[in-house]
């Protein structure tokens, strides 16, 4: 079953394989799964790459890497390539998220931080989905960090025009209709009292906001990971 909102992700049903100790409530976990999220054209990719370069012991994953495979699904099904279509939503979208999370879960066996660059626009507002993800991460001595990229909608509009991507054709052509369905509010449902970095807001409407947020967020993430970092021992799979 695809790992969409309301469904139990495939990684939530796995058995076997190496596992770490469960994270205890109120105690910082040793590892982090970081989701850099936002609506399209807010600056996720640039910010994700800058964060991955600034942090230590990090694996960087970009959901857009899967786009060539998704395009092939459209071709095989004799469907026009349209990531805003019903076909994409029904047959492809959730699979992309499932695959990128499967890769992340495996990568957490080998490094301290896995950072995923992907919108997760539906998932981050689905409390049941997030609860399942956090539960599975705890088994790997990891915790969830969501970095929400906060960007003014007009700035996003201009960036979308500037990047001239084929995935944005429908959005730009139907901008007024598209923007009505986009939630630019941070997902405050993700904030946990006992985990200060559970939800971090990265302000990105100007160069000054970017520089300030980058410095603050990198410092916060590094400080929490270093507290629990310990020498690795080889794992046999």
Predicted TM-score (pTM) of the model is 0.82
The whole-number pLDDT of residue 184 equals: 94
Picking from 78, 71, 144, the residue whose alpha carbon sits closest to that of residue 114 is 144
Q: What is the pLDDT of residues 99-155, one digit of tens each?
A: 999 999 999 999 999 999 999 999 999 999 999 999 999 999 999 999 999 999 999
CB contact at 8 A, 31 and 140? yes
> How high is the pLDDT of residue 23?
52
- What tens digit of pLDDT does each residue of 158-177 get? 999 999 988 899 999 999 99
CA-CA distance, 115 to 33, in Å (whole number)?
6
pLDDT at 233 > cutoff 70: no
**What pLDDT does 237 receive?**
41
pLDDT digits (tens, 9 = 90+) for 1-36: 345 554 545 554 443 334 434 454 444 557 999 999
Q: What is the mean pLDDT of the chain?
A: 86
For 158, other C-beta atoms within 10 Å of its C-beta total 12
Q: Are 112 and 32 in contact (CB under 8 A)?
A: yes
- We find that the CATH architecture of domain 27-226 is 3-Layer(aba) Sandwich (3.40)
For position 8, what pLDDT does the model report?
Answer: 45
Encode pLDDT of 71-99 as tens digits. Answer: 999 999 999 999 889 999 999 999 999 99
- C-alpha closest to that of 144 among 165, 155, 129: 129
Q: How many CB atoms lie within 10 A of CB 20?
A: 16
Domain boundaries of the chain, sorted by first residue:
27-226
Give the percent of the chain with pLDDT over 70: 83
């Amino acid at each position: 079953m695809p790992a969409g909102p309301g469904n139990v992700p495939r990684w939530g049903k796995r058995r076997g394989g190496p596992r770490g100790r469960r994270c205890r409530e109120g105690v910082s976990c040793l590892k982090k799964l970081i989701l850099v999220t936002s609506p399209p054209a807010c600056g996720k990719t640039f910010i994700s790459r800058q964060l991955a370069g600034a942090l230590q012991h990090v694996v960087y994953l970009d959901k857009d890497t899967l786009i060539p495979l998704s395009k092939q699904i459209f071709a095989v099904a004799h469907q026009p390539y349209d990531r805003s279509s019903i076909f994409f939503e029904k047959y492809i979208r959730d699979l992309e998220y499932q695959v990128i999370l499967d890769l992340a879960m495996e990568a957490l066996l080998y490094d301290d931080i896995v950072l995923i660059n992907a919108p997760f626009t539906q998932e981050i507002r689905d409390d049941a989905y997030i609860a399942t993800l956090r539960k599975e991460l705890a088994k790997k001595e990891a915790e969830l960090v969501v970095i929400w990229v906060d960007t003014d909608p007009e700035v996003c509009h201009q960036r979308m025009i500037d990047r001239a991507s084929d995935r944005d054709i429908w959005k730009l052509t139907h901008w007024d209709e598209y923007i009505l369905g986009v939630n630019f509010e941070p997902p405050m449902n993700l904030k946990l009292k006992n985990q200060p970095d559970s939800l971090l807001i990265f302000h990105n409407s100007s160069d000054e906001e970017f520089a300030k947020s980058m410095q603050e967020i990198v410092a916060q993430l590094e400080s929490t990971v270093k507290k629990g970092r310990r020498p690795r021992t080889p794992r046999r799979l």
